[in-house]
C-alpha cells in the first residue's frame, strides 16, 4: 500500500518511509492511499474476540502488504496486549474504556504499536533514530514507556513547564535509559512548534535521523482504529451507534473515521472539545481559526491548532458540508466538566476522568435528540491520572492504581530549555 501527502496526493511513499519520516517532505500528513474494506464474515468474527486478536486481523489488513505476516502478528501482539472493554454507564450509553494499558491512557495503543513498527524498520540501520515528541500530558508517558529500552531509538520528550500534572510528569521524566525529558519554559504549542521546526530544518535532517511520535505519525493514529471495531463487537447485533470522542489533536477521531471507511457501521461522530474549541467553531462556521491553547483540567485536549485536522479535511475533500454530516461539535468549560464528573459518580456510580467527562456529556446530549441510538463515549484515561481534579470534585479520596503509584516515588530528571529553536537544535546535535 502507498501513503500520500495531504498537501499533494501525487506525492507517494511506502509505509517504511512514512513511518520513518513522520511528516511528508512537503510538510503534509501521510494518509493511506486506500483502506481495506472488511467483509461481513470478518466483522462477525470480531464478536468473539478481545482487542489483541482484533488488532492482529486489522493490522494484517492494513499493513500486511508491507510486512511479513509472522513479523506483523508478533509485533502487534506485543504492542496491543490489553483489552478495551465497553462498560454500560446509563441506558443506551456506554464508556469504551481505553485505559487498560501500561500508562492507563488510550495513547498506549498507538505509541506501543509505533515503537515496535519503527524498531522493525530500523533494525538494520547502524545509526540511532531520534524520536521527537511534544506532549501536553499523556502522549509523553505513553510514548516514553512504549519506546523504553527499544534498541537503536532515542526519545526526546518536550513538555510545557507546569503544564502537565505532577503524576504525568513523573511518568516520562523518571525513566532514564533511552528517554530524555525536556522541560520547556513555554506552552504546549511552543513544544509542538519546536518539533515541527526540526522537521523543516534540512541541515539538521542531514545530520541525524529524526522522526515524530506525535499523532502526525500514521503508525500512531491508524492502530487506534482497532478499538472502534472492538467497541462495535461488544454491542448487541444490529445496534445503531455513535461515538463521542474527547479530542485534542484529533488523532483519535481520524482513526474512527478511517474505521468507518473500513466498513465499521457508525451513525455519527461527536467531536468534543474543552474550551479549546477551534474545531467546534469550524463545524459551526466553516472557518478554521487556530488559536493559542488555553489551559483546562482536561489538559490532553488543550490544543489550539490540532495537528490531524488536515487529515479530516482530506478525508472529506475539504468540503465543510460533508464534514458536518459526519461530525457534530460540542465544547465544555472546566465548570461543566466538574459537574459531569460529580453527577455521573453520584447518580450512575461511574467515575469519569475530565476528558471522558466531556465525551459523556456530549453523548448524553445527543442521545436526548436521538433516543433510538446507542452512544459510546471514549474514556481516554483512567480517572486516577487526574486525581488532583477528580478527588476534589467527588469529595472522596482515591486510591492510586499500583502502576501509577510506582512512578510517584521516582526522581524527576529533565533538561530545562527556553522555547527557542536554536537552543533546542544545539541540544539535539550534542546528542548524536
Ligand X SMILES: *Cc1c(COP(=O)(O)O)cnc(C)c1O
Enumerate binding residues for ligand X (CB under 6 A): 105, 107, 137-138, 215, 246-253, 300-301, 355, 380-381
Nearest approach, Cβ of residue 80 and ligand X (Å): 17
Backbone angles phi, psi at 327, to 5 degrees: -120, 130
Distance CA 176, CA 249 (A): 27
Residue 356: CB minimum distance to ligand X, A: 8
Point out which residues pair with 183 in neighbouring strands: 159, 416
CB-nearer residue toward ligand X: 72 or 354: 354
* DSSP per-residue string spanning 231-292: HHHTSPTT--EEEEEE-SSSHHHHHHHHHHHTT---S-EEEEESS--HHHHHHHHS------
Q: Which is nearer to ligand X, 174 or 273 (CB)?
A: 273
Which of 297, 305, 251 lies closest to 277, judged by CA? 305
Residues 6+ apart with CB under 8 A from 197: 421, 424
Nearer to ligand X, 104 or 182 (CB): 104
**Distance of alpha carbon 167 from alpha carbon 174, whole angstroms:** 11
Task: Tell the smallest beta-carbon distance from residue 87 to ligand X (Å).
Answer: 16
The torsion angle over the Cα atoms of residues 422, 424, 427 and 430, rounded to 10 degrees, is: -60
**Residue found by looking up cell 506525535 in the block:** 214
- Which is closer to ligand X, CB of 133 or CB of 210? 133
Nearest approach in angstroms of CB 236 to ligand X is 27
Rounded to 5 degrees, φ, ψ at 135 are -135, 145
- Judged by beta carbon, residue 145 or residue 215, the one nearer ligand X is 215
CB of 332 to ligand X, least distance (A): 13
Helix or strand or coil: residue 97?
strand
Choose between 67 and 384: whose C-beta lies nearer to ligand X: 384
The neighbour count for residue 268, using CB atoms within 10 Å, is 19
Least distance in Å: CB of 106 to ligand X?
Answer: 6
For residues 277 and 331, is the Cβ–Cβ distance under 8 A? yes
Q: How far is the CB of 256 from ligand X (least distance, A)?
A: 10
Instruction: Describe the chain by its helix, strand, coil percentages, rounded to 5.
Output: 45, 15, 35
Q: Which is nearer to ligand X, 182 or 303 (CB)?
A: 303
Q: What's the closest the beta carbon of residue 139 comes to ligand X, in angstroms?
A: 6
Looking at beta carbons only, is 210 or 357 nearer to ligand X? 357
Amino acid at each position: 500500500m502507498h501513503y500520500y501527502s495531504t498537501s499533494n496526493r501525487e506525492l507517494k511513499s511506502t509505509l517504511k518511509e512514512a513511518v520513518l519520516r513522520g511528516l511528508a517532505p512537503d510538510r503534509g500528513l501521510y494518509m493511506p492511499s486506500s483502506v481495506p474494506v472488511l467483509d461481513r464474515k470478518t466483522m462477525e468474527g470480531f464478536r468473539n474476540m478481545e482487542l489483541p486478536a482484533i488488532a492482529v486481523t486489522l493490522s494484517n489488513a492494513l499493513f500486511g502488504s508491507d510486512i511479513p505476516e509472522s513479523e506483523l502478528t508478533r509485533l502487534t501482539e506485543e504492542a496491543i496486549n490489553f483489552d478495551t472493554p465497553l462498560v454500560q454507564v446509563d441506558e443506551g450509553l456506554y464508556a469504551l474504556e481505553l485505559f487498560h494499558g501500561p500508562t492507563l491512557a488510550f495513547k498506549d495503543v498507538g505509541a506501543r504499536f509505533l515503537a515496535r513498527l519503527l524498531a522493525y524498520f530500523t533494525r538494520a540501520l547502524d545509526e540511532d533514530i531520534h524520536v521527537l515528541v511534544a506532549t501536553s500530558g499523556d502522549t509523553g508517558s505513553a510514548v516514553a514507556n512504549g519506546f523504553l529500552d527499544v534498541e537503536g531509538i532515542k526519545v526526546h520528550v518536550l513538555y510545557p513547564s507546569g503544564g502537565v500534572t505532577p503524576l504525568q510528569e513523573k511518568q516520562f521524566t523518571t525513566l532514564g535509559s533511552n528517554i530524555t525529558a525536556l522541560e520547556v519554559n513555554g506552552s504546549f504549542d511552543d513544544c509542538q512548534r519546536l518539533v515541527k521546526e526540526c522537521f523543516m530544518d534540512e541541515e539538521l535532517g542531514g545530520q541525524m535521523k529524526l522522526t515524530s511520535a506525535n499523532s502526525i505519525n500514521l503508525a500512531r493514529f491508524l492502530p487506534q482504529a482497532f478499538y472502534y471495531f472492538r467497541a462495535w463487537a461488544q454491542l448487541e447485533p444490529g445496534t445503531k451507534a455513535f461515538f463521542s470522542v474527547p479530542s485534542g489533536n484529533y488523532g483519535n477521531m481520524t482513526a474512527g473515521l478511517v474505521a468507518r471507511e473500513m466498513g465499521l457501521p457508525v451513525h455519527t461522530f461527536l467531536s468534543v472539545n474543552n474550551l479549546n474549541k477551534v474545531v467546534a467553531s469550524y463545524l459551526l462556521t466553516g472557518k478554521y481559526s487556530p488559536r493559542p491553547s488555553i489551559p483546562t483540567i482536561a489538559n490532553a485536549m488543550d490544543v489550539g491548532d490540532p495537528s490531524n485536522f488536515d487529515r479530516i479535511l482530506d478525508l472529506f475533500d475539504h468540503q465543510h458540508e460533508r464534514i458536518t454530516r459526519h461530525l457534530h461539535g460540542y465544547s465544555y468549560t472546566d465548570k461543566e466538566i466538574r459537574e459531569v464528573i460529580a453527577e455521573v459518580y453520584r447518580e450512575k456510580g461511574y467515575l469519569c476522568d475530565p476528558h471522558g467527562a466531556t465525551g459523556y456529556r456530549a453523548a448524553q446530549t445527543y442521545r436526548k435528540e436521538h433516543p433510538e441510538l446507542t452512544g459510546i463515549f471514549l474514556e481516554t484515561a483512567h480517572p486516577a491520572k487526574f486525581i488532583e481534579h477528580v478527588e476534589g470534585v467527588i469529595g472522596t479520596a482515591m486510591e492510586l492504581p499500583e502502576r501509577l503509584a510506582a512512578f510517584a516515588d521516582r526522581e524527576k530528571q529533565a533538561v530545562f530549555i527556553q522555547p527557542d529553536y536554536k537552543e533546542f537544535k544545539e541540544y539535539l546535535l550534542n546528542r548524536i
